[in-house]
Amino acid sequence: MRHLPLFFDLAGRTVVVVGQGPAADRRAALAESAAAVVRRVDSPAAMVFRNASAAFVATGDRERDAEAAAAARAAGVPVNVADRPALSDFIMP
């Protein structure tokens, strides 16, 4: 098994959501339901990931997704890219 099922307490922690649209909205809502502080952005820069506990990327554009995932990783933040498990550090059902 490549992935280990884990549950993180995100209450009060920052989660960055990159992108707009239904996939980004679902991820933001899921993080908010876990009492996370959600930071929504359209264009990722390394600084937007500062002090974040996790990041979700859902731009719908392969190049932008890869860029955002790389920026999150450069900041030491685990990232999930919608529908792109090869670009993701963690997956979701």
Superfamily for the 14-87 domain: NAD(P)-binding Rossmann-like Domain (3.40.50.720)
* Contact assessment for residue 44 and residue 18, using Cβ atoms and an 8 Å cutoff: yes
The two three-digit tokens of residue 8, written as one number: 């993180």
* pLDDT tens readout for residues 67-93: 999 999 999 999 999 999 999 999 987
Q: What's residue 3's pLDDT?
A: 81
Closest C-alpha to 58, from 29, 92, 22, 32? 22
* pLDDT tens readout for residues 1-57: 678 888 999 999 999 999 999 999 999 999 999 999 999 998 877 789 999 999 999
